[in-house]
Structure 1
Amino acid sequence: MDEVIRIGIAEYAVSRKPVVLRTAGLGSCVGVIIYDQERGLSSMAHVMLPDSAISRDITVEVGKFADTAVTELVKRLRQGGAIRLRAKIAGGAQMFQFKYEHESMRIGERNIAAVKAALQQAKIPLVAEDVGGTNGRTIEFHSSSGRLVIRTVNVGTLEI
């Protein structure tokens, strides 16, 4: 049985060995998995917000924002010898319905778009996704097989 690494909100992890990367509580947040199957390298970030430019903190929590999380995961994987990176994403739900939906309240959609833009900028192909909707998700990436298991509240389990 592979070791399970839990990734909390705004956190990330990178591994060079067979592991299960798991994060729970993906509502409007997006789980980003970037991996090199052939080299056995894998990573996951639990992205909360689309853009680090909105941060008021002097030191930015790298895993918190789509732009910084994707950049950091790619950098660390490449330092570890990754060549053929691929990505999978899940999450980005619209958890709350507002009577007057302002663009700033559509965090899930904005997170999805920002993650996809960051992946595209890094030239990482997005090979699978399960995004949007109105329900939260828990995801597990099995690095040895490349399977992403997604448990969606009130929906069930999906594997991509």
Structure 2
Amino acid sequence: MTEQLHAGIAEYKIGHAPQTLAALGLGSCVATVIYDEEHHLGGISHIMLPDSTAFSASQTTNHAKFANLALPEMVTALRQAGATGPLTAKIAGGAQMFKTASTQLNIGQRNIMAVEATLAQLAIPIVARHVGGTQGRTMIVDLVDFSTMIRIVHDGTIYI
């Protein structure tokens, strides 16, 4: 049986094939998987908040919580683990879990935008996404071939 590494909320994990990576129970959080196809090496982050700039230094000690800190740190960890090839990404999550008229309070959409902006700054293309909506998801990634399963609450399974 293949080992599955789970990234909990505000965590990231790095793995090598034949491992799989997973982020379970994504609501407004965004899972980002970054993959080196040449080395079958990847990382998955379970991002909770878009950006750390509104918080004090003592509130940002867990970099994995924030898109603007987690993704650059995860890329560094991937490079240290042996990723030398071009990197690509897939993202999932960012649902609007509660009805609100305020776009400022739609943390899911803000998380999506922050992940996309951070990946663009890192020059990592997003090759697939399943984001937004109002339903929770789980993302599971096979590091052998980068196949990615998304389980959608009350709506089945898709592959991106």
Tell me the equivalent position of 1:159: 159
**What secondary structure does 2:104 align onto?**
helix
Tell me the equivalent position of 1:22: 22
Tell me the equivalent position of 2:32: 32
Tell me if 1:127 matches 2:127.
yes
Tell me the equivalent position of 1:78: 79
Superposition pairs for residues 41-56 of structure 1, below 5 Å?
A: 41-56=41-56
Number of equivalences: 158
TM-score (norm 2): 0.93
Tell me the equivalent position of 1:93: 95
Question: Any unmatched runs of 5+ in structure 2?
Answer: none
TM-score (norm 1): 0.93
Match for 2:95: what amino acid?
A
Deviations 1:78-99 (A, max 9, x none): 223322100000000011102x
Contact 2:95 2:135 in 1 (8 A): yes
Q: How well do the aligned residues superpose, as a CA RMSD in angstroms? A: 1.2
Deviations 1:114-140 (A, max 9, x none): 000000000001000000000000110
**What secondary structure does 2:23 align onto?**
strand
Tell me the equivalent position of 1:115: 115
Contact 2:46 2:64 in 1 (8 A): yes
Deviations 1:46-93 (A, max 9, x none): 000000112335252121111111101111112233221000000000
**What secondary structure does 1:115 align onto?**
helix
**What secondary structure does 2:24 align onto?**
strand
**What secondary structure does 1:104 align onto?**
coil
Match for 1:138: what amino acid?
T
Contact 1:29 1:47 in 2 (8 A): yes
CA distance in 1, matches of 2:13, 2:53: 22
Question: Any unmatched runs of 5+ in structure 1?
Answer: none
Tell me the equivalent position of 2:10: 10
Deviations 1:8-46 (A, max 9, x none): 111100123421111111001000000101112110000
Tell me if 1:60 matches 2:61.
yes
Deviations 1:92-118 (A, max 9, x none): 0011102xx223211011000000000
